[in-house]
Amino acid sequence: MKPGAAMGSLTIRNIHPETYQRLKEQARRHRRSITQEAAVIIEEAVAQAQGPQEFWRHARRVREAVQAGYGAFPDSAPLIREDRRR
């Protein structure tokens, strides 16, 4: 957020009582108000939201890291076909 930018406001109604209680307990554990805790949860969820392109970029990075650490794995299709014939 830019310095001096106005903070947004959000009202959430009709939260299930059990969900509200869990949020309240989590806020207490983190020493935050319920509003602060909800804002942090929303900010983290929005920051983690990703489209399909970002998902596939991440998957490619993971695959490359595994191959760099362990080498390439052989194609499993022949083993699967053999297993299906049994």
Looking at the domain assignment, is residue 77 inside a domain? yes
Token couple for 12: 């959430």
At 1, the pLDDT band (50, 70, 90 cuts) reads: low
Q: Report which of residues 65 and 48 the model is more confident about.
A: 65
Region of 84 (left: φ > 0; alpha: ψ -120 to 50; beta: rest) is: alpha
Residue 2: inside a domain, yes or no?
no
State pTM to two decimals.
0.54
Domain-located, residue 11 = no
Are 24 and 38 spatial neighbours (Cβ–Cβ below 8 Å)? no
Query: Considering the domain boundaries, does residue 12 fall inside one?
Result: no
Q: Is residue 5 part of a domain?
A: no
Number of domains observed in the structure of the chain: 1
Q: Which residue has the higher pLDDT, 72 or 65?
A: 65
In which domain, by residue range, is 75 found? 17-85
